[in-house]
Structure 1
Amino acid sequence: MSITLEEVTSSNYEAVCDLDVTDEQQEYVASNMWSLVEAHYCQGHTCRAIYQNDIPVGFFMWVSETPEKVSIWRFMVDQRYQKAGIGRAALNLALNEIKACDKVKEIEICYDPENPVAKDFYSSFGFQEVGLDEDGEDMLAIIKL
């Protein structure tokens, strides 16, 4: 299984927009189409399509909050490709790409605190919970570099 992160371009954005999570996951994930629109009109947003071999199977978007801090805002694997190790491989690639920027000192991610799978998954990459976000809704976890 070859997992890569690719730029979202005019040749693959429609396939990325067609990716979707399960009905139960809908409330936790913004649509990829909305994320691409947001990234187009806002500074500092990076989008990547997750590919398995030559097929788009997921999506990432991270945001440079400051030169030293990057937040992963979007991360999804299409429902047809979940539970196959793709998310783990893709997050590892994304973290390596983010860490390659010399100025970055902190990477953060938010998730539903009621989701025990998310906590275990992200902590396995070194994310440490620091408390709820400013809205008091999502758990904030960070990696300090």
Structure 2
Amino acid sequence: MNIALKPINKQNYEAVCDLEVTEEQEDYVASNMWSIVESKFNDNYETRAIYQDEEPVGFFMWVKEASHKISIWRFMIDQNHQNKGLGRNALELALNEIKQEPDIRVIEICYNPENPVAKDFYSSFGFNEIGMDDDNEDMLAVIELETV
């Protein structure tokens, strides 16, 4: 399985915008189109298409919220490509890329606490739940990196 993260650009943005989650997942994930627009008008937003071979199959967006903290705001795998291990491989690639940022000590992610697989999935990467977010809607989980 050849998984890669690639920048969103003129050649692939439409294909990424066409990716969709299942109807049951729609309440948990913002549209890729909205996320791409958001990234173009805000500083420190990074977007990546998740590719399997030469086909876009998912999307990431993360935001450097402080000099020491990056938050993963968007992460989705297209409904036609779920349950194949792509998300696990893609998140590993994203975390490796994020960890290359100088001075990053915290990586955070939020998810709906009603999502039946999120806690186990994210904790398997080292994310630890620290409580509900400021809006009291999503669970906040973090990875605290060792400082060198």
TM-score under structure 1 length normalisation: 0.99
Paired with 1:29 and 1:7, the residues of 2 have a C-alpha distance of 20
- State the percentage of identical aligned residues: 63
Q: How far apart are 1:93 and its partner, in Å?
A: 0.2
Aligned residue number for residue 54 of structure 1: 54
Aligned residue number for residue 123 of structure 1: 123
Q: How far apart are 1:121 and its partner, in Å?
A: 0.1
RMSD, aligned CA: 0.5
Paired with 2:124 and 2:85, the residues of 1 have a C-alpha distance of 13
1:24-50 deviation digits (Å, cap 9, x = unpaired): 000000000000000000000000000
Q: Structure 1 residue runs of 4+, over 6 Å off?
A: none
1:69-128 deviation digits (Å, cap 9, x = unpaired): 000000000000000000000000000000011210000000011123000000000000
Aligned residue number for residue 17 of structure 1: 17
Aligned residue number for residue 73 of structure 1: 73
Aligned residue number for residue 44 of structure 2: 44
Paired with 1:114 and 1:28, the residues of 2 have a C-alpha distance of 10
Tell me the SS of whatever aligns to 1:141: strand
User: Is 1:107–2:107 an aligned residue pair?
Assistant: yes
Aligned residues: 145
User: Is 1:142–2:146 an aligned residue pair?
Assistant: no
Paired with 2:85 and 2:92, the residues of 1 have a C-alpha distance of 11
Paired with 1:112 and 1:27, the residues of 2 have a C-alpha distance of 9
Aligned residue number for residue 90 of structure 1: 90
Aligned residue number for residue 26 of structure 1: 26
Q: How far apart are 1:67 and its partner, in Å?
A: 1.1
Paired with 1:25 and 1:114, the residues of 2 have a C-alpha distance of 11
Aligned residue number for residue 5 of structure 1: 5
Paired with 1:92 and 1:123, the residues of 2 have a C-alpha distance of 13
Paired with 1:128 and 1:144, the residues of 2 have a C-alpha distance of 9
